[in-house]
Structures are given as C-alpha cells and as structure tokens.
Amino acid sequence: MFYSNSNLDTIEEFEKRREAAAKLSLADGVELIVDDYDHDSWLKTVAAGLENEPEKGARCAKCFRFSLARAAAYAAAHGYDGFASSLTVSPHKISAVVFGAGEAAAETIRQTHPDGEVPEFLRYDFKKGEGFKLSVRRARELGLYRQGYCGCEFSKRKGAEVC
C-alpha cells in the first residue's frame, strides 16, 4: 500500500490519514510505504492558476496525475508489475479521469524505461458493486479516521464535497 498525499493542506491531516492507512495495512497484512509529504511542490505543480477550479475540474485531474506519477515511479523502481488507485472508491471522483491519470503515469515510465519491464496501470474501479459503502463499513469496523474534506485547501471552501 503506497500512501502519497502531498495534496493535503497540513501535515496534521497527512498524519491523521497516514495513521488510518497504517491501521488498515496492519489489519490486511500488507506493507505500508509512506511517500514524502511535499505540499509546496504540489501547490506549484498542480494548483498554481487552478485555485478557483471546482472539484472534479482541471485541478483535480492534475492532482491525480501528480500522486499517480509518484506511485508509478515507486512501482517501477521496486519491480512491481502493476499499480491501481484507491481514488476510484470515492463517488466524487470520476473513475475515467483517475484511469486517464494512471495510464498517463504508466506511459511516462514506459518512455523513460524503453527497454525495461514497467508497471502497468490497473483500471480497477473500487466504487463498483457498492465499494464505497463497503469502505465506509470497513472504516467503521476498524475505527479509522474519516476525512471531512477532499484534501487540499481549495476543497475546504463552503459547498465543497466531502470525498
């Protein structure tokens, strides 16, 4: 389980969600890999000029690309065959856009490793078959922290959706 959340507006929120990921990884017996928290670079690369975009807009598509590029790079460096994204579990995330970001990340890796085996992006849609409801139930069972906003400071605006 690769935890990358530089989109989060504060380190406190990053820690709360990291703890939840740690509990889940322990419960499921999978290793947790925690990526560096680098919100400044996220602000520069993703949000600059797109601060007023609504959720599900252009900023979010770039945000998915930012995190999935880091996941793809990690997967490639450590010999994984593939990677998927739990972003698709949210009913507020358009899976087609997440898939587009994942495939773009995989393609970038492919271009930089022309001769090597590179991880494939797996188009796994975790919200299908009531996946979101299952995730809520699981979070309740494990006593996991549940986020009250999507993540960045721009998703905290009044009227923004909880993802």
Tell me which residues touch another protein (CB under 8 A): 56, 91, 94-97, 125, 127-132
Q: How deeply is 79 buried, as exposed, middle or buried, from its count of CB atoms within 10 A (0-12, 13-18, 19+)?
A: exposed
Closer to ligand SF4 by CB, 41 or 112: give it.
41
Closer to ligand SF4 by CB, 103 or 110: give it.
103
Min CB(157)–ligand SF4 separation in Å? 10
Q: Which residues pair with 3 in a beta bridge?
A: 34
39 makes contact with ligand SF4 (CB under 6 A): no
| Residue the block writes with tokens 């069972």 | 141
**Residue 5 contact among ligand SF4, another protein, none, beta carbon within 5 to 8 Å by kind:** none
**Residue 15 contact among another protein, ligand SF4, none, beta carbon within 5 to 8 Å by kind:** none
Q: What residue ranges bind ligand SF4 (CB under 6 A)? A: 7, 55, 59-60, 63, 150-152, 154-155
